[in-house]
């Protein structure tokens, strides 16, 4: 029987939804499930981890693990993977997951696949599906090792509300300090804006918005909807938006419930970062813009006219 170890995605003491998504998929393929939670003061998350679908919870709780550091976090995952004898080790899509996964794979002498969107098992044979060449093709990859370490693409699996696990806590000791690199402080974005990766609604602005006034207009719509505010690379290259707002192949990958692309043409590199969104709405004055090929709802029009109407209508509905 397959054994899946999911690495709990915990941000500032809060368990992120991707953990339940990965555990649901593990249960759906009939695997035994475990989760490893790494951090400081995280023991209170145990029942939440069980409810998310894990049958064993490996907890590494230590003040030294308060700040993320790839080396020690990888040691904790390796320890849990060996104790559970996991053959599938899954990370949710995050910068820390991408940093730790290859280290774990190297230590376990396992294959490593990133951005997987599906996994199948035929006996011991593991096969994964993942996008390649900026999403132009889907690869089906046969894994020739017994174990696979994988980073799952955002939004690839859905959490099944009906699934639960059992509480069976195994405490693991923290690894010795990794003196090769010591994280002393974490400087987070002080803007107070919603993190794109966490947002249920993301609104991105493109070159169609032209300048700061156009950006401000679209930003107001994002504020109305408490949405994450992103952008195409054209706006970042033009110095109008910060790089941490860029969505796409060389930016962030998002998979919100609703993605609005405002004044964005829909270049393949942009689509690579958002075409996993559940619903896509595009506003573009060019009816031939490629973004309409992936949009569920399209509004052909000038964003400077359309966005105020959208705001007005949304606010009417809400009030």
Ligand X SMILES: Cc1cc2nc3c(=O)[nH]c(=O)nc-3n(C[C@H](O)[C@H](O)[C@H](O)COP(=O)(O)OP(=O)(O)OC[C@H]3O[C@@H](n4cnc5c(N)ncnc54)[C@H](O)[C@@H]3O)c2cc1C
Q: Which stretch binds ligand X (CB under 6 A): 28-36, 55-63, 71-79, 231-239?
A: 231-239
- Cβ proximity to ligand X: between 72 and 263 the closer is 263
Measure CA of the first residue to CA of the last residue in the chain; give whole Å. Answer: 53
Kind plus residue range of the DSSP H or E element containing 237: helix 233-237
- Cβ proximity to ligand X: between 16 and 285 the closer is 285
**What is the rounded distance in angstroms from the CA atom of residue 78 to the CA atom of residue 267?**
39
Q: How far is the CB of 214 from ligand X (least distance, A)?
A: 8
The residue number whose beta carbon is nearest to ligand X equals 248
Q: Which stretch binds ligand X (CB under 6 A): 79-87, 98-106, 161-169, 285-293?
A: 285-293
**What is the rounded distance in angstroms from the CA atom of residue 27 to the CA atom of residue 22?**
9
The reply on whether position 135 binds ligand X by CB under 6 A is no
| C-beta separation of 66 from 40 below 8 A | yes
- Residue of 246, 260, 275, 276 interacting with ligand X (CB under 6 A): 246
- Residue of 38, 74, 284, 295 interacting with ligand X (CB under 6 A): 284
Q: How far is the CB of 307 from ligand X (least distance, A)?
A: 9
Q: By CB under 6 A, how many residues form the interface with ligand X? A: 27
In the stretch 194-223, what mask flags binding to ligand X with x, by CB under 6 A? ------------xxx---------------
The reply on whether position 70 binds ligand X by CB under 6 A is no
The reply on whether position 245 binds ligand X by CB under 6 A is no
The DSSP secondary-structure symbol of 194 reads P
Half-sphere exposure of 113 (CA within 13 A, CB side): 27
Kind plus residue range of the DSSP H or E element containing 139: strand 137-143
**What is the rounded distance in angstroms from the CA atom of residue 258 to the CA atom of residue 15?**
22
The reply on whether position 233 binds ligand X by CB under 6 A is yes
3-state class of 116 per DSSP? strand
The reply on whether position 11 binds ligand X by CB under 6 A is no
Kind plus residue range of the DSSP H or E element containing 57: strand 56-61
| C-beta separation of 19 from 52 below 8 A | yes
The reply on whether position 228 binds ligand X by CB under 6 A is no
Residues 248-267 interacting with ligand X (rule: CB under 6 A): 248-251, 263-265, 267
Of 77, 83, 111, nearest to 97 (Cα)? 77
The reply on whether position 244 binds ligand X by CB under 6 A is no
Q: How far is the CB of 195 from ligand X (least distance, A)?
A: 17
3-state class of 315 per DSSP? helix
| C-beta separation of 80 from 168 below 8 A | no
The reply on whether position 303 binds ligand X by CB under 6 A is yes
The reply on whether position 172 binds ligand X by CB under 6 A is no
Which residues of this protein are in contact with ligand X, per CB under 6 A? 206-208, 232-234, 246-251, 263-265, 267, 269-270, 273, 283-286, 289, 302-304
């Amino acid at each position: 029987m397959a054994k899946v170890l999911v690495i709990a995605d915990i941000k500032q003491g809060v368990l992120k939804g991707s953990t339940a998504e990965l555990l649901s998929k593990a249960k759906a393929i009939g695997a035994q499930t475990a989760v490893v939670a790494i951090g400081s003061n995280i023991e209170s998350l145990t029942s939440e981890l069980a409810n998310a679908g894990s049958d064993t919870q490996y907890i590494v709780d230590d003040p030294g693990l308060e700040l993320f550091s790839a080396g020690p976090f990888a040691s904790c995952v390796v320890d849990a993977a060996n104790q559970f004898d996991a053959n599938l080790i899954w990370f949710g899509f995050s910068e820390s997951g991408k940093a730790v996964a290859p280290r774990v794979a190297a230590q376990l002498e396992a294959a490593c696949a990133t951005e997987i969107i599906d996994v199948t098992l035929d006996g011991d044979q593991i096969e994964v599906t993942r996008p390649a060449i900026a999403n132009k093709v889907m690869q089906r990859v046969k894994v020739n090792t017994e174990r696979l370490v994988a980073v799952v693409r955002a939004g690839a699996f859905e959490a099944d509300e009906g699934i639960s696990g059992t509480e069976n806590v195994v405490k693991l000791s923290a690894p010795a300090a990794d003196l090769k690199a010591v994280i002393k402080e974490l400087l987070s974005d002080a803007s107070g804006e919603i993190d794109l990766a966490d947002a249920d609604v993301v609104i991105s602005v493109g070159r169609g918005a032209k300048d700061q006034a156009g950006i401000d207009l679209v930003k107001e719509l994002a504020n109305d909807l408490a949405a994450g505010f992103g952008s195409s690379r054209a706006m970042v290259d033009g110095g109008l938006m910060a790089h941490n707002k860029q969505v796409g192949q060389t930016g962030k990958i998002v998979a919100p419930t609703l993605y609005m692309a405002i004044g964005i043409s829909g270049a393949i590199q942009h689509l690579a970062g958002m075409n996993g969104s559940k619903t896509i709405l595009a506003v573009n004055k060019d009816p031939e813009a490629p973004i309409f090929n992936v949009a569920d709802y399209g509004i052909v029009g000038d964003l400077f006219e359309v966005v105020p109407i959208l705001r007005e209508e949304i606010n009417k509905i809400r009030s």
